[in-house]
Structure 1
Amino acid sequence: MSKKLVIKVTAGADAPERCSQAFTVAAVAVASGVEVSLWLTGEAAWFALPGKAAEFELPHAAPLPDLIESVQAGGTLTLCTQCAVRRNITEDDVLEGVRIAGAQVFVSEVMADDVRALVY
């Protein structure tokens, strides 16, 4: 029986350790064969844009671009609709493979059978 992990990351450069933890857990889960859906909300929304992850620095942490690449290789990366609108981010602006979706999609993912959810 497969399980899915839905992770919502609300922190960005404003809380680097919490942000890095979310991306690290998501990447490790994908590498472990877990189906992962990583949601970028709040300040993490900026990481849906090309080049923004490369600006993120946290000593002794895996580079954020590498973690994003790992998540995208075996999971889903979603930018919150409202968070995108507040930051004037459109579908034309985001990294290839990033979807923009709202609360209804998030709720349907976390309410599905065999799903675990984490919020950072």
Structure 2
Amino acid sequence: MAKRLVIKVTAGADAPERCSQAFTVAAVAVASGVEVSLWLTGESAWFALPGRAAEFELPHAAPLPDLLETIASGGRLTLCTQCAARRDIGEGDVIEGVRIAGAQVFVSEIVGDDVQALVY
């Protein structure tokens, strides 16, 4: 098993099953003791804002706020710099624990033998 798992989620309410899968895998990995970094990109960028995860619904899926809380408690949450800018989201707008960073940081996280990267 990889020592670190980096997940880039591009889907939000526009593709709820893909979105939920990414958050579920990240939360399960955190609960299993894996070092997790979840990147919010594209439409998932909205979940960096307070209250937005509570608006997400998908039947038979774990509630997104619960998954987000699990990930935040033991992993790292990053909002893509360009995705934030396109949505006019600033550092002061995001929930506690979310950082805003760009491609250089993403690349530095996914390079290495002990890393598994997934894109949803």
| Alignment TM-score > 0.5, same fold | yes
Q: 2:27: which partner in 1?
A: 27
2:43 aligned with 1:60: no
| 1:2 CA displacement | 6.8
C-alpha RMSD of the superposition:
1.1
- The number of equivalent residue pairs is 120
Mapped to 1, the partners of 2:32 and 2:109 lie a distance apart of: 20
The one-letter code matched in structure 2 to 1:42 is G
Q: 1:88: which partner in 2?
A: 88
2:92 counterpart SS class: coil
Unaligned runs of 5+ in 2: none
Mapped to 2, the partners of 1:34 and 1:59 lie a distance apart of: 27
| 1:113 CA displacement | 3.2
The one-letter code matched in structure 2 to 1:15 is A
Deviations 1:33-61 (A, max 9, x none): 00000000000000000000000000000
**Distance change (3 Å), C-alpha of 1:31 and 1:89:** same
TM-score under structure 2 normalisation? 0.98
Identical aligned residues as a percent: 84
Mapped to 1, the partners of 2:2 and 2:28 lie a distance apart of: 16
Q: 2:107: which partner in 1?
A: 107
Q: 2:119: which partner in 1?
A: 119
Task: Write out the 4+ residue segments of structure 1 that deviate beyond 4 Å after TM superposition.
Answer: none
Deviations 1:60-115 (A, max 9, x none): 00000000000011000000000000000000000001000000000000003300
Unaligned runs of 5+ in 1: none
- Aligned 8 A contact 2:40 2:79 in 1: yes
1:66 counterpart SS class: helix
